[in-house]
Amino acid sequence: MIEIWFVIAIFVFVYLQKHLYSKYIFKNVHIDRKFKEYAVFAGECVTYEFSIKNNKILPITYIKSEEKLFENIEFENIFSIMPFENVKRKYTIQSVKRGYYELSQGVKLTSSDLFGSEEYTSTINSHGKLTVYPKIIDIKNKIASLNTLQGDSVVKRWIIDDPMMISGIRDYTNTDSLKRINWKATAKTQELKVNTYEYTCDKKIMLIYNLDIHEYLITDEDIKNIESGIELAASICVDLINEGIPVGFTTNALCKGNEEYTFVEPSASQNQISQILTQCAKISEYKKYPLNDILERVKQSGNVMYEILIVTNKVSEGMLNNILQFDNLQFSIISVGKEEIEYIPNNVKLFWYRGEDE
């Protein structure tokens, strides 16, 4: 008789635990995932943190989590979580590509009851964001003029005729050039210090990143030029702002997370660097507006002091013909592509980017 009651008790227990787990297995299970760094530069490592908490008295003897972070990075983990236990995992992701990443896809959870007789699945959303800035490159002697027979540095061309005045000293950042270091202040404080400059002219730069691609076909060469162009645009902005020149930014490309036009007013503050780098990180491979729309918007801003610089992944005759409509404005255009151009409008200074390997 004792044996019969024992068997009955086992069946009752199995049934009850199966009912409890089917109803409450994922109740009060919380997931938190985040990147330790808010923003990094392309090619740098980033730390990803994942935690799962069982905030109830019912233990979870087996639970598998599946998640996709980026296009080619997926994680799968198996946990055993006791009541009110929080399990954490950390991962180092190598060489993250430029981009703006939102962990919008939920984490798929798979679990079972105590005896593994039933399997249950659920998806729990937990959002995280990561901004990967484009790599900052040394643009010195990398930009050559197509209007003249000799090469020229665009950045030097803009600032050489205007006196620069040192206005102060601040801490060194990884976007600063070594030539800006104030060695006397560095020796005194034992920390790297750089000079800050006051630009004595009212000139402001509006940098436009132009995405020029075929409507139906994007080649590997296009993608390479797009990335090179974004790196170039970001590097020019950082260089000019570090020299005290106000720089603004806009683009005709679709930027992830931006519903309307991307438009950053010119400024020479250090915070401006992070704003522009963030927008550069968000640039996608999809064109949202014609270049004419962007130029019209810049023109309607009413600021006649803008020097307009266009960085483009390639330059075409059609693009230059459209710029002719804005003959009252002066343009400097830097192309990453190496197209043959027969005619350059009088209001255009055309340059090409040699590239880091050239």
Q: What is the CATH number of the domain that holds 314?
A: 3.40.50
Distances (CA, A) of 272 to 1, 24, 37, 54, 240: 82, 49, 19, 42, 11
Q: What is the pLDDT of residues 37-57, one digit of tens each?
A: 889 999 899 999 999 999 999
SS3 of 76-138: the string is EEEEEECCCCEEEEEEEECCCCCEEEECCCCEEEEEECCCCCCEEEEEECCCCEEEEECCCCC
- Shared-domain flag, residues 302 and 338: yes
Residue scoring higher pLDDT (330 or 202): 330
Mean pLDDT of 202-216: 83
* Residue at a domain's end among 94, 115, 133: 133
Q: What is the pLDDT of residue 56?
A: 92
Let me know whether 100 and 149 are in one domain.
no
Q: Is 172 domain-assigned?
A: no
Q: Would you state the structure tokens that stand for residue 328, as one six-digit string?
A: 């009252």
Out of 96, 112, 133, pick the residue that ends a domain.
133
**Are residues 149 and 112 located together in one domain of the fold?**
no
For residue 166, what are the contacts with CB-CB under 8 A and spacing of at least 6? 195, 196, 197, 198
Strand partners, 193: 171
Spatial distance between the Cα atoms of 139 and 204, rounded to a whole number of angstroms: 20
Residue 167: inside a domain, yes or no? Answer: no
Of 322, 199, 298, which is closest to residue 249 (Cα–Cα)?
A: 298
Same domain, residue pair 92 and 156 = no
Range in 178-182, 188-192, 251-255, 256-260 the model is least confident about = 178-182
H-type helices in 25-55, by residue range? none
Range of the domain at 150: 143-162+201-353
Q: How crowded is residue 8: how many other Cβ atoms within 10 Å of its Cβ? A: 10
Point out the domain boundary residue: 114, 133, 152: 133
Beta bridge partners of 74: 68
Summarize the confidence of residues 285-308 as an average pLDDT. Answer: 81
Average pLDDT value over all residues in the chain: 83
Query: Domain of 69: which CATH number?
Result: 2.60.40.10
Residue that is written with structure tokens 């929080």 in the block: 86
pLDDT exceeds 50 at position 158: no
Residue 97 in any domain: the answer is: yes
Secondary structure of residue 317 in the 3-state scheme: helix
**Structural domains in the chain (count):** 2
Residue 5 identity (one-letter amino acid): W
333 & 263 share domain? yes
Q: DSSP 3-state assignment of 310? A: strand
Residues 149, 285: one domain? yes
Q: Is residue 358 part of a domain?
A: no
Q: Are residues 247 and 105 part of one domain? A: no
Could you tell me which residue, 119 or 14, shows the higher pLDDT? 119
The SS3 call for residue 1 is coil
Residue 232 lies in a domain: yes
The pLDDT-based confidence of 215 (bands split at 50, 70, 90) is low
Asked if residue 113 has pLDDT above 90, the reply is no
Q: Is residue 173 part of a domain?
A: no
* 22 and 126 within one domain: yes
- Summarised one tens digit per residue, pLDDT across range 302-324 is 655 678 899 999 888 888 888 88
214 and 129 share a domain?
no
**Same-domain check for residues 124 and 214:** no
Q: In what order do the strands lie in the sheet with 60-70?
A: 73-81, 60-70, 107-112, 119-124
Identify the pLDDT of residue 3: 73
β-partners of residue 53 are 30, 86
Residue 6 has pLDDT above 90, yes or no: no
What average pLDDT does range 164-183 have in this prediction?
Answer: 73
Distance (Å, rounded) from C-alpha 257 to C-alpha 137?
26
Range list of H helices, 41-182: 154-159
Q: Tell whether 59 is covered by a domain.
A: yes
Please enumerate in sequence order all residues whose Cβ is within 8 A of that of 301, keeping only pairs 6 or more positions apart, or say none.
none
Residue 155, C-beta contacts closer than 8 angstroms, at least 6 positions apart: 139, 143, 236, 239, 240, 243
Whether residues 224 and 317 share a domain: the answer is: yes
Residues 52 and 148 in one domain: no
Q: Mind listing the pLDDT tens digit for each residue in 120-151?
A: 999 998 888 899 999 998 887 777 665 543 44
Task: Please give the residue that has the higher pLDDT: either 46 or 213.
Answer: 46
